[in-house]
Structure 1
Amino acid sequence: MGAALALGERGRGRTAPNPNVGCVLVRDGRVVGRGWTQPGGRPHAEAMALDQAGAESRGATCFTTLEPCAHRSTRGPTCSDLLISAGVARVVAALGDPDPRTDGLGVARLRAEGIAVEIGVRADEARRSMAGFLTRRSFGRPHVTLKLATSLDGRIALASGESRWITGPEARAHAHLERARHEAILVGRGTWEADAPRLDVRLAGLEERSPQRVVLSGRHPHPSHSPVASGAPPSPDGRGRETREARRKGEGDPVTWLAEPAAIADLPGVDHLLVEGGAATAAAFLRADLVDRLLLYRAPVIIGGGLSAIGDIGLTDLAAAHGRWRLHDARGLGGDRLEVYERRRS
């Protein structure tokens, strides 16, 4: 199952609206097939693994991170039917599929054909791996990661606004890998206009996985007055805008403008959203309780009277701040430190 989970991570940020599933087929103690959901959601992981295994699928055990689908589609046969036709003897799934078209039906279909089925192996890891799909199903919106790169005292820039670079190259490379795992990346209008961020992936071999670009306009909506609008940015303030725009790679790429954080629910094809700043935008998402995961990169520097990483989130009771976040991971990245926190939700 660990291998299946690792394979599923290959599709993260590329399979929406389908989940990023991983699958491994084992026969006589030997792996005979591997698969993961392909970009756009097809082929499914099980179909890919079965195709690789061929005749060796018969009598094999299928380890998959999600219950094999049971609902028919014009895009291909169901995975439960494919497993039955291939003659697998056993299916081990990490999670049941919450999609009502499959929920429990895939398991029932397999068992009706005499295939042994086990559910729940490494379920917590599977939930984390497929958080985008599951969050969309549970809350009707993307899974949101907020990325902060700060000094030890929580500053993101000098008082002058200078911020390049607080963290070192290893931390910045990791942040680009995170970009590649999200369908969309969001910054606030102030950051967009002041810094001209490229919002792309600059890691060799992963450049094509650059996410969609989204800007939170806040009180200065896009001229269309729509909560979600695509196209050119609103009128500039006249202070060197053309120079900054000329520096932005992919100037002709579409940009989606949102008037409020809640509008992320309407972003098409986005199950994983990475929010990168600035302080007002970070505060807006935290205030709306829309952040599911925190990436905190901290450099071993103290800035003092610089710019804070997060603005006011409306907290009036210190007790309410406790118990909301759990530490999931911590590691060194060069001279910096990364801490990953997850929002505690029922």
Structure 2
Amino acid sequence: MGPQQLTIDAAMTRALQLAARGPAYGPNPRVGCVLLAPADDTVPVSEGAAPDALDPRPRTVLAEGYHQGAGTPHAEAAALADARDRGVGVRGATAVVTLEPCAHTGRTGPCADALVAAGVAQVVHAVDDPNPLARGGAAVLRAAGVRVVRGLRAAEGAALLHVWLTAVRRGTPYVTLKTATTLDGFVAAEDGTSRWITGSEARAHAHRVRAAVDAIAVGTGTVRADDPALTARVTGHDGVERLAEHQPLRVVVGHGGIPPRSRLRGDGGPLLHLPTHDVAEVLRALAAREVRHVLVEGGPTLATALLAAGAVDELHAYVAPALLGAGRRAVGDLGVRTMADVRRFRTVEVRRVGDDVLMVSRSVR
């Protein structure tokens, strides 16, 4: 069987698949790159051409790569290294990449410069880079004579990078609020007990979400009431529960102290106490630590403050087929007195998780 052949469009689909292999957490975006050999008698593409003007003929795949997390080579550099390992040249090649190549020297060098130095003739990317520290790669490439085509499968690229793009464009973390309630909307019984409203499958899913975020936040009231560990745990094939490889930053918000024997002081991610009730101050502090995605797990006081401030981007509402009739609500008074002022979200997913239901919705702002 000969070398794999892909059209530029199919190569972008492959690049998106590669990008999805990278970690969802961390300050850097998930990016994939495929290097294609030049086509014989390549159809000329004018500068600034639309994606549908690209040469539709299949080309040989020379190499590929994806970003595996902060401090590792970016996708373009990984693909160039793969080409070197394979012993193939890339002069005249087309780089198909999910995000505009960066023009920034950080832990690694600028990808735009690396592509120019390698002799790549054309770069096709899905999404423009909004990061003020890294954007501008397309201009660098064009100045060096490289053809640049932007916007191929842009919607798919933006969907993959939704959390990261939102956080970078705004300068504050993407906020996901998790709730676990009974059918009648309670998060705890009248005596304060809340374990467990949802079943084991829903709790396991919540741990997988924890393992994919940068930080988990709770209020000091939750620390006192529940003594949470705020770790991401997984169950192995042997049935034993262990800490996941990635442990998010554990954040406690509020003026109350963290007890000396708190489980938060045990194994897990770093612990950060933010003694404030100012939502904007919390988000600024997390942004300063390059937190792109924070998962808020309670309790009602913190949830209400974030919702009232319009700071929640996404809701993960786990609903159990159970009734309490009385107890603590998931959210307190938001100041809404008429339906005209209702806080609305847009549903993006509904799934059954064991006996429970998870509804994922996003802000419509």
TM range (shorter): 0.7 to 0.9
Counting only pairs closer than 5 Å after superposition, residues 147-162 of structure 1 correspond to structure 2 as 147-162=178-193
Counting only pairs closer than 5 Å after superposition, residues 101-120 of structure 1 correspond to structure 2 as 101-103=133-135, 105-120=136-151
Q: Tell me the residue number matched to 2:304.
A: 283
Counterpart amino acid of 1:84? V
Number of matched pairs: 320
Q: Call closer, same or farther: CA 1:161–1:43 in 2, change over 3 Å.
A: same
Counterpart amino acid of 2:274? W
| Offset of residue 334 of structure 1 | 2.0
Counting only pairs closer than 5 Å after superposition, residues 1-346 of structure 1 correspond to structure 2 as 1-9=12-20, 10-14=22-26, 16=27, 18-27=28-37, 31-54=61-84, 55=88, 57-71=90-104, 73=105, 75-103=107-135, 105-203=136-234, 204=236, 207-217=244-254, 221=255, 233-234=257-258, 242=261, 245=262, 249-250=266-267, 253-259=270-276, 260-263=278-281, 264-267=283-286, 268-321=289-342, 324-345=344-365
Q: Please provide the CA RMSD for this pair.
A: 2.7
More moved, 308-317 vs 190-199: 308-317
After TM superposition, the score normalised by the length of structure 1 is: 0.82
Write the distance in 2 (CA, Å) between the matches of 1:278 and 1:8: 34
Residue identity (%): 45
Q: Tell me the residue number matched to 1:229.
A: none
Structure 1: gaps of 5 or more residues = 223-232
Write the distance in 2 (CA, Å) between the matches of 1:74 and 1:190: 39
More moved, 282-291 vs 49-58: 49-58
Counterpart amino acid of 1:25? L
Write the distance in 2 (CA, Å) between the matches of 1:252 and 1:344: 32
Write the distance in 2 (CA, Å) between the matches of 1:11 and 1:99: 19
Q: Call closer, same or farther: CA 1:253–1:271 in 2, change over 3 Å.
A: closer
Alpha-carbon contact 1:216-1:261 (below 8 Å) kept: no
Alpha-carbon contact 1:187-1:281 (below 8 Å) kept: yes
Structure 2: gaps of 5 or more residues = 1-11, 38-57, 237-241
Deviation sequence 1:119-162 (CA, Å, 0-9, x none): 22333343343344433333221111111112222221222222
Alpha-carbon contact 2:265-2:271 (below 8 Å) kept: no
Deviation sequence 1:20-54 (CA, Å, 0-9, x none): 33333345656554433333254212212221233
Q: Call closer, same or farther: CA 1:333–1:252 in 2, change over 3 Å.
A: closer
| Offset of residue 56 of structure 1 | 5.4
| Offset of residue 68 of structure 1 | 0.3
| Offset of residue 211 of structure 1 | 0.4
Q: Tell me the residue number matched to 1:226.
A: none
